[in-house]
Structures are given as C-alpha cells and as structure tokens.
C-alpha cells in the first residue's frame, strides 16, 4: 500500500490506540532504528514491536494524538500527546516531539523527544 509520508505517520500514531504491537510492524522498515529520549537505541522491526508489546501490557490506557506535523521530503516532525495510564490511574497527557525518517515507504528511523521526569510525574497523578 502506497501512502504519502504525512498519512503514513498519522496512521502510525493512530495505530498505537489499538494497543496491538503487531499492527505497528506494517509501518516500520525491517531495519528501523528507534531512539526514545534517555533510553538505549532499539534496532530492527521485531525488537521495536517487542518494546511496544511491553508498553501496551504495562499501561491500561493508550491514547496517542498528533497535534501538529511537518513534512519535508522523507523527514516528518510531529508534535504529539501520548496519553498513558497505569491500571486504575489517570490518563497522563505526555507531550512528545518525534522525528521520523522514511525509506521505501516505511519508517526507517524514529526518535522520540520528551521529558521522562515530567512524564512520570504526570503518570503518578501529580
């Protein structure tokens, strides 16, 4: 399926709301490199899917939303809200900036930038 880069990333972000890590695989290049601010780099589609499988098992609610998005060729920069809630906890609106590099119609590089300390504070309901 051929999509423009804007649509590809918007659909990818919406796919998180299903909490189905296998659904993310369709958007990822086999050699994708994922870097989440402050954590080790994750390489390869299977490894990235496994990371998100664990995230989806940890959080009772996942509601991701794109606020603003800019596309320049094969680079997409997106301002997002990652709504996450621990079981029984409040939905924390964690602000995030993401940079995606597209190759062969799939996400080949993905870097998330946020403030993990503030995210944890929100997740704890503070």
Q: Which CATH class is domain 5-123?
A: alpha beta
Residue 31 contacts residue 43 (beta carbons within 8 Å): yes
What are the boundaries of each domain within the chain?
5-123
**Quick one: average pLDDT of 51-72?**
96
**Quick one: average pLDDT of 32-38?**
93
Report the length, in residues, of the chain. 126
The pLDDT value recorded for residue 2 is 56
The pLDDT value recorded for residue 126 is 59
Predicted confidence (pLDDT) at residue 118 exceeds the cutoff of 90:
no
- pLDDT category of residue 1 using cuts at 50, 70 and 90: very low
Sorted by sequence, the CB contacts under 8 Å of residue 55 that are 6+ apart come out as 62
Is the model more confident about 18 or about 119? 18
Mean pLDDT (the chain, rounded): 94
């Amino acid at each position: 399926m051929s999509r423009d880069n804007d649509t590809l990333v918007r659909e990818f972000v919406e796919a998180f709301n299903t909490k189905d890590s296998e659904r993310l695989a369709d958007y990822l290049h086999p050699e994708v490199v994922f870097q989440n601010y402050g954590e080790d780099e994750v390489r390869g589609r299977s490894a990235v899917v496994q990371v998100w499988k664990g995230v989806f098992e940890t959080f009772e609610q996942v509601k991701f939303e794109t606020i603003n998005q800019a596309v320049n060729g094969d680079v997409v920069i997106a301002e997002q809200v990652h709504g996450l809630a621990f079981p029984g906890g409040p939905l924390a609106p964690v602000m995030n900036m993401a940079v995606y590099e597209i190759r062969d119609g799939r996400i080949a590089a993905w870097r998330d930038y946020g403030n993990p300390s503030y995210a944890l504070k929100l997740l704890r309901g503070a």
